[in-house]
Copies of this chain bind each other. A is one copy, B any other.
Amino acid sequence: MVTIYDVAERAAVSPATVSRVLNGKSVKAELAARVLEAADTLAYVPNRTARTLRRRHSEVIALIIPDVENPLFTALARGVEDVAREAGYSLVLCNSDDDLAKEREYLDIAISGDMAGVIIVPAAGESNVDLLLAKGRAVVAVDRPVAHGNVDTVVFDNARAGHDATTVLWEAGYRRIACITGPNDVRPAVDRAMGWQAAMLGFDSTFPAVTYLRHGDFRTRGGQEMMLDLLQMDEPPDAVVAANNLIGVGAINAMAQAGTLPPTTGIAVVGGLPYALPFGHPIPVVHLPTRHIGMSAARILLDRLSGSQSPVSTVVLRGELTPPTPA
């Protein structure tokens, strides 16, 4: 391995000077040139591990998400990455599987690996980022707030999204509108359902909301199972609000299975349907600014990393009801 000493020797300067050149401290032009040339010919690459040990922190930020296979989170990751790498940070993507134990593992890695900061979509339940905070590391929660956390947060306006999705169905003439959402220890799931409930009670104060609310997981399977369940009711709903993209896919598949596709049974989805194939009937979607939420979180984190002491903030991003699905 070629070290800073090798470069120093070849350039006939001290290791300290090499270090200074590489870090943009003031060095006489001629020496700097010698150093750069030596570094170049030796193909010297600074050892990040040593640098990190010395500096006490690396230029890496961790992004912890519950599911790499959910397009919402990969889009979010893109947003984070674009902003982060622009600022010279690289990204470590960690998959918590919505599991607190795995999440803790990754948090430990972030700590013991001296990572600069962490952007986290907290796993279902009570995420604990106190150790990070205690070490003075920057933390930003995204998509979901962290339970007892005193951390910057970026979320969607989930209640509104649920409300909007419900409204569009109501206006299309549906009256018994159910809701399939995620686990009730996942905040966006709860909030979107609350938006739906508020909308329904607003339209019809006698609507038996609890009867038409289902909690599944935030995956296609959950959407499918819950939809089948709803369709088997004595008085099945005539439409459904799917609280996320994958639930939407699952629900529509269940509808196909039961032979009651839109517009027979209506559906509106919160969160864009990824890679949607053209579908017989247009499906209203409350499009969430997924990439944007990541960029926003990244900017806040970078701000903290550069020493900002502004008070802890929460940013709420609004979704947008898209005209019935285009190509």
Contacts and interface: CB of A to CB of B under 8 A. Distances in A.
B274 A275 contact: yes
Contact of A256 (B50, B113, B278): B278
A133 to B, nearest CB: 14
Contact of A277 (B94, B105, B252): B252
For chain A, which range describes its interface: under 10, 10 to 19, 20 to 34, or 35 or more residues?
A: 35 or more
Interface in A57-114: 58, 68-69, 71, 74-75, 77-78, 81, 90-95, 105-106, 108-109, 111-114
Interface string A33-53: 000000000000111111011
A31 interface: no
Contacts of A48: 109, 112-114
B275 A246 contact: yes
A273 interface: yes
A26 B81 CA distance: 44
A69 B278 CA distance: 20
A94 B252 CA distance: 33
A210 to B, nearest CB: 28
Contacts of A13: none
Given A53-B50, A253-B278, A69 B71 contact: yes
A257 interface: yes
A71 B69 CA distance: 7
Contacts of A58: 49
A91 B93 CA distance: 8
Contacts of A312: none
A224 interface: yes
Contacts of A224: 327
Interface string A120-148: 00000000000000010000000000000
Given A257-B327, A273-B277, 14 more contacts: A45-B111, A48-B109, A48-B112, A49-B53, A49-B58, A50-B53, A68-B68, A81-B95, A92-B92, A253-B277, A253-B327, A273-B275, A275-B275, A275-B276
A49 B52 contact: yes
B47 A220 contact: no
A113 B109 CA distance: 14
Contacts of A198: none
Contact of A249 (B91, B277, B280): B277
Contacts of A71: 69, 71, 275
B274 A277 contact: no
A63 to B, nearest CB: 9
A90 B276 CA distance: 33
A13 to B, nearest CB: 22
Contact of A106 (B46, B53, B90, B94): B90
Contact of A112 (B46, B94, B245, B261): B46
Contact of A69 (B75, B245, B246, B253): B75
Nearest to A55: B49
Contacts of A109: 48, 90
A8 to B, nearest CB: 18
